[in-house]
Structure 1
Amino acid sequence: MLRSLYAGVSAMKANQVKLDVIGNNIANVGTTAFKSSRVRFQDMVSQSMSDASAPATNQGGVNPKQVGLGVQVAGIDTMVGQGMMQPTSRNLDVAMDGEGYLIVATGPIIGEITVTAGHDMVASTDVTKTLTSSYTRDGALTLDHEGHLLTSDGFRVMGYSNQTSYDSTGIPTVSFIGANDAAVADTILLKPLSIPDKVGTAKVKSFSIEKDGTIKAILDNEKVAIIGQIAMASFNNPAGLSKSGKNLYTQTSNSGEPVVRSGIKDAADNSKAYGNMLSGMLEMSNVDLAEQFTDMIVTTRAFQAAGKTITTGDEILQEIIGLKR
């Protein structure tokens, strides 16, 4: 059988995968904080018809004679470059101007994650406080009727909190810490964040999210209180994160462990490596439509050319069969 037939089949399969990836990129051109992907190809093993030989006294060297057996997908890379910032004028929308990811989780409202001195995350050993964490750059946050800070899919937003306790319905009690005081009460535990109706005995009139992630509330007694600070995580290899849908990422063996941004006035401050959290903005998709459509044209032509290789091989086989009348 002709090798060109199998080479053509491998090319069609590889280019089909690339078309799938391009189609997914175009479909998510309007997805908040979406990171586009690209496909890389590599040649398959080559069949040697003859090996190389070194120069001799009466004859020069000869190069190897090899016939390639097709192409295969070398990798599908996530392009982690930052997308454009889109103003929304909504105080619960935040965009990460840097390499950080929001830490979100599912589990009980009293759940917690310990942050070590090296800014690593350690899950709670208490089953009643165990949370399952994921990561996202989609900062379109919401509040439920109890004031819990959530993503649009209901995942709890984690951070350093001044919440001291919860009542039977899960509504937190928040201790008052002024904007010029020592800052967030607990910079060792990550907890699900909430924006309550009251801080102490004072009612919350409005709130804002600052560049460092702190949530400040203006109270009806004209004082400003810090409710908590939204946590951020970074990875040595963010392209190694696994996309799990709903704009979420999960840690893999090749992404590295998450490194948590330090809290306000933490002695081991590492916050400068994370950039700012921009309130009233959302990060848009980093898909470049012009690039995607150009790649689509090239990939389509490559797919058609591979198909032509197969039909040409079929014609040759038909001619060989026709030699016997």
Structure 2
Amino acid sequence: MLRSMSSAISGMQAFQTDLDVVGNNIANVNTVGFKASRTDFGDVLSQTLSGGNAGTAGGLGGTNPQQVGLGVKVTDTQLDMSGGPDQTTSSPTDLAINNAGFFVVKSNTGAATSGSTYLTRAGNFTVDSNDDLVLPNGFVAMGFAGSTAPSATTSESSLAPVNLQTMFAGVAPAGVTLPSSPNVQIGEDGSINVTGSDGNTYTVGYMALGTVPNPAGLEKVGDNMYGVVPSAGQLTYAPPNDTAAGTGTLSSGELEMSNVDLSNEFSEMIVAQNGYVANTHMIGTDNTILQALVNMKNS
């Protein structure tokens, strides 16, 4: 088979992956906390027809190697972890992170170390009937219990589920209870403040943010969440606005939206589409050449 046909086939496969990535980005243009991806290409091995030689003094000059490329491959699909635009809402439990960090959520909060830990930039939290601060999929936000902001740590056992009743019981004076529909406010520093039955406001805990050395190395697991895999590095937990951990502040009543740039996606879609079509034309040309060879044999 002609080398150009193999190259064209690899090009079609690579541009199909590119279109898949672009299509997913466009589909999630309005997804809370979504991070766009891009497709990176790299050439595959080249066939060397002849090697290069250095020139000799008083003799022939040098020659360059003669190589024919054998196509293209997708080297990776890179996450764009830049921040998306904030959208103002009317809910005090909607949170947006200004700068670095991810919300920490768990699937099972029987204990701090039980269940699976995930990171997310989606801050569309609500308080459920059990007074847990949860995402729409039911995963519970993790934080630090107590009225004093903790230091950054890599210990997951330092975290606690953000349950307003439990956290309030740990700091409230005797006889003061939490109303059935608690008034909760979350500060820029991640402080979780609730109003007790005595009308006073108490800081019952702090939201936890997670940071990793390589955020682009996180693994998408669906529902706007990321799994922490070795490529991301060591996960560190800290409250917002922690200088040592480099976490950003929180904005209450706002949501970070998708960072998908539609104009960029449309231009990439046009390039990928034309690249795909060009490769199909290459296959058509190769087919014409092969057909001519067959006709030559039969003539």
Alignment partner of 1:257 out of 230, 234, 237: 234
Q: How does 1:174-253 map to 2 (within 5 A)?
A: 189-196=158-165, 199=172, 200=174, 201-204=176-179, 206-253=183-230
Aligned mates of 1:66, 1:281 — CA distance in 2: 56
Aligned mates of 1:106, 1:270 — CA distance in 2: 29
Q: Which amino acid aligns with 2:249?
A: N
SS of the aligned residue for 1:273 comes to: coil
Q: How does 1:13-162 map to 2 (within 5 A)?
A: 13-56=13-56, 57-109=58-110, 111-112=111-112, 123=113, 130-162=114-146
Percent pairwise identity? 36
Q: Which amino acid aligns with 2:158?
A: L
Residue 282 in 1 paired to residue 255 in 2?
yes
Aligned mates of 1:206, 1:240 — CA distance in 2: 38
Map of 1:323 onto structure 2? 296
Provide structure 2 residue ranges, at least 5 long, that are not aligned to the other structure.
none
Aligned mates of 2:28, 2:295 — CA distance in 1: 51
TM-score normalised per structure 2: 0.89
Aligned mates of 2:90, 2:163 — CA distance in 1: 21
Q: Which amino acid aligns with 2:12?
A: M
Deviation for aligned residue 1:106: 1.8
Provide structure 1 residue ranges, at least 5 long, that are not aligned to the other structure.
113-122, 124-129, 163-176
Aligned mates of 1:10, 1:236 — CA distance in 2: 34
Aligned mates of 1:6, 1:322 — CA distance in 2: 22
- Residues 217 and 232, structure 2, Cα contact 8 Å, conserved in 1: yes
Which protein has the bigger strand share? 1
Aligned mates of 2:16, 2:240 — CA distance in 1: 47
Deviation for aligned residue 1:261: 0.9
Shift of the 203–55 alpha-carbon distance from structure 1 to 2, 3 Å rule, reads closer
Aligned mates of 2:222, 2:131 — CA distance in 1: 25
Deviation for aligned residue 1:263: 8.4
Aligned mates of 1:271, 1:183 — CA distance in 2: 13
Q: Which amino acid aligns with 2:96?
A: A
Aligned mates of 1:100, 1:11 — CA distance in 2: 37
TM-score normalised per structure 1: 0.83
Note the alpha carbon deviations across 1:160-186, whole angstroms, 9 max, x for none: 114xxxxxxxxxxxxxx6xxxx568xx
Report how many aligned residue pairs link the two structures.
284
Which protein has the bigger helix share? 2
Q: Which amino acid aligns with 1:214?
A: S
Aligned mates of 1:203, 1:313 — CA distance in 2: 76
SS of the aligned residue for 2:231 comes to: coil
Q: Which amino acid aligns with 2:257?
A: M
Map of 1:312 onto structure 2? 285
- Residues 33 and 258, structure 2, Cα contact 8 Å, conserved in 1: yes
Deviation for aligned residue 1:258: 0.8
Deviation for aligned residue 1:107: 1.8
Aligned mates of 1:25, 1:263 — CA distance in 2: 28
Residue 5 in 1 paired to residue 5 in 2?
yes
CA RMSD between the two structures? 2.0
Q: Which amino acid aligns with 2:7?
A: A
SS of the aligned residue for 2:164 comes to: coil
